[in-house]
Structure 1
Amino acid sequence: MTAVDPDDDTDLVLYARVPDDGEGKRLDAVCAQLFADYSRSRLQAFIEAGRLQVDGEVVTRCRSAVRAGAQLRLLAEEIEQELRLEPQDLPIDVVHADRDLAVIDKPAGLTVHPGAGQRDGTLQNALLHHFPQTATLPRAGIVHRLDKDTSGLMVVALNLKAHAHLVAALQAREIRREYEALVQGELISGATIDLPIGRHPRDRLRMAVVEHGGRDAVTHYRIGERFTLFTRLDVRLETGRTHQIRVHLAHLRHPIVGDPLYGGPLRCGGLPIELREALQGMRRQALHARELALAHPRSGEQVSWHRPAPADMQRLYALLRRHAPHGGQ
């Protein structure tokens, strides 16, 4: 039997006892039986993130054998209720569409799917209007997300076969996702950040690099353009954890300009007032998903799409180039 802790209003704390027939079975298999509201893959992610306790001890190996009578405590995320989600005629920039998939250039400020406190006005509502066939798919065909204030390219499945293909490709790290970010500080060279990410130990709205219980997270970056006190980076995701690029770059002490969660105070002393005001006026993280490349689910052919950064980021680049020692390079 599963019980819920009613005092936790951010996540759900679920309790269950391993039944007699669970003796010796894999932990993730038993959890799938006891916490049936969640998919097995979602439960595996919870386990690997250190969100499950067995008899008071955190267990992060999905293959661990359990004993009958063991007490499970799961810190789970609330399941979004998608019933009766209404299509809405919201403008979206469709870069490409065919029988199997659509590629959307999402603007900053558009939430991808409904959640706590926002039931409409999202990309998911728009997809249900522009592509009614997505009503039969999980989350209207959305297979990966961008943060509300990150702009750029997203791929959306338009049928079940394409959905399964794209989800599998993401899990196998076969979809190439490239971003550009304007960060604080003058970096010298590119590198790979291979540091696990998990929930911040004190602030549930934030993620953080954590030593124990985090999920593997790999971010590659190289220098795109150098400016005075700032750098434009070309970034490639190998994994896709929540806020991954933002967390990794902030951990290096090169946070993304305009990032409200991870940015910290803007260091721009000594710059011309026009440039300082523009940098301080950036009200969202200067992060743009500019390129997608994948094997098409029907033909297997490699296809790719590219969209330049939007006007707010381009304006910052232009001002920074004007005041860079060599015009940016």
Structure 2
Amino acid sequence: MDRILTYTITPQEDGMQVLEFLRSKGFSRHILTSMKPDKEALLVNGMRAGGRSILKEGDHFRVRVMETGSMEGIVPAPLPLDILYEDEDILVLNKPADMPVHPSIGNYTNTLANAAAFYFQQKNELCPFRCINRLDRDTSGALILAKNALSAAILSAQMRNREIRRTYLAVVCGVTPPSGTVSAPIGRVSDSVIQRQVDPEHGESAVTHYERLAVRNDHSLLEIHLETGRTHQIRVHMGYIGHPLPADYLYHPVYDHFKRQPLHSFQLNFRHPLTGKDLCFTAPVPKDMAQAF
């Protein structure tokens, strides 16, 4: 989606070059490059400006970031979306279980991307699918979509810098210690495209913190915080310490209590990519997990 931003240059920003100013606001090299063909991308006091133009205190600086992405390959499908929050930069959703995030073989029209494409089509908005915190198919809960390239670049940087705080709820087998930290590298299983394992020699660093909230029927309800975001991190780490998630088709396919892995992205804390305001969004606990405790 096109995004137009307006700035009034402050005393602290007086004398900055346009490129320096934009980089300070989170504009990536890719976005700056994509703006070059647009002759009206940069206007200072209504006049065209270049990357080396000098900004002065009190200047009115207008920046236009035109949408260059594409929805090609994602078929709009009228699937329900549970929207927790939306503005012109972000869309925060509560993803249900049993919904893939991205299309793949055998999942061409039943994904969150398909649902989002239909939603934006109905609003006549061009918003390529930009998912910031990805969730497994059977994992439910809060997830962020960026509605333009700039918000995507800033939020992706927050993810890399571990500035997006993610709180998960998980039900695991057995009674865990009251709290703990799992620090064990995770890598891909050699003969599998999907499956992961703890791999001290070749794996990437992964750190998971957990706190036990309740115990019932020889299962523990945990609150989990991630320092890293490795594929299947919670599922692999909990299994590694002897407390796998039940009904996990890859790592512990035991379905006597749950029909899907009981893992829920409960809360997201992060800074708004454009305003810098601190945000906190909570996704209601799904019925299968709530009823278990």
TM-score (norm 2): 0.71
1:191-244: CA deviation from partner (whole Å, max 9, x where unpaired): 111111111134433110002221111111111112342111000111111111
2:266 is the counterpart of 1:290 = yes
- Which segment drifts farther, 302-311 or 224-233? 224-233
Q: What is the rounded CA distance, in whole Å, between the counterparts of 2:207 and 2:160 in structure 1?
A: 13
Q: What is the rounded CA distance, in whole Å, between the counterparts of 1:161 and 1:248 in structure 2?
A: 34
User: Who is 1:158 aligned against?
Assistant: 147
Amino acid at match of 1:288: H
User: Who is 2:117 aligned against?
Assistant: 128
Q: What is the rounded CA distance, in whole Å, between the counterparts of 1:218 and 1:309 in structure 2?
A: 24
1:96-128: CA deviation from partner (whole Å, max 9, x where unpaired): 001110110000011101112322211011111
Q: What is the rounded CA distance, in whole Å, between the counterparts of 1:134 and 1:260 in structure 2?
A: 37
**Alpha-carbon offset, residue 136 of structure 1:** 5.1
Count of matched residue pairs: 222
2:175 is the counterpart of 1:175 = no
Amino acid at match of 1:103: V
Cα 1:282–1:297 change in 2 (3 A) is same
User: Who is 2:292 aligned against?
Assistant: 316
**Alpha-carbon offset, residue 159 of structure 1:** 0.9
Map 1:1-329 → 2, pairs under 5 A:
83-132=72-121, 135=126, 137=128, 140-263=129-252, 265=254, 280-317=256-293
- Is the 1:128–1:134 contact (alpha carbons within 8 Å) kept by the matching residues of 2? no
Cα 1:243–1:136 change in 2 (3 A) is same
1:233-276: CA deviation from partner (whole Å, max 9, x where unpaired): 000111111111000001111001221111255xxxxxxxxxxx
SS at match of 2:194: coil
Q: What is the rounded CA distance, in whole Å, between the counterparts of 2:114 and 2:213 in structure 1?
A: 35
- Is the 1:134–1:159 contact (alpha carbons within 8 Å) kept by the matching residues of 2? no
**Alpha-carbon offset, residue 129 of structure 1:** 1.7
**Which ranges of structure 2 fall in alignment gaps of 5 or more residues?**
1-69
Question: More helix per residue: 1 or 2?
Answer: 1
User: RMSD across aligned C-alpha pairs, in angstroms?
Assistant: 1.9
SS at match of 1:131: helix
- Is the 1:101–1:157 contact (alpha carbons within 8 Å) kept by the matching residues of 2? yes
**Alpha-carbon offset, residue 82 of structure 1:** 6.9
Cα 1:150–1:100 change in 2 (3 A) is same
Q: Which runs of 4+ in 1 moved over 4 A?
A: 132-136
Identity %: 37
**Which ranges of structure 1 fall in alignment gaps of 5 or more residues?**
1-80, 266-278, 318-329
Cα 1:135–1:141 change in 2 (3 A) is farther
Q: What is the rounded CA distance, in whole Å, between the counterparts of 2:78 and 2:104 in structure 1?
A: 19
Cα 1:190–1:118 change in 2 (3 A) is same
- Is the 2:75–2:108 contact (alpha carbons within 8 Å) kept by the matching residues of 1? no
Amino acid at match of 1:182: V
Amino acid at match of 1:122: T
- Which segment drifts farther, 82-91 or 177-186? 82-91
TM-score (norm 1): 0.64
Q: What is the rounded CA distance, in whole Å, between the counterparts of 1:222 and 1:84 in structure 2?
A: 41
Q: What is the rounded CA distance, in whole Å, between the counterparts of 2:273 and 2:155 in structure 1?
A: 7
Q: What is the rounded CA distance, in whole Å, between the counterparts of 1:164 and 1:301 in structure 2?
A: 17
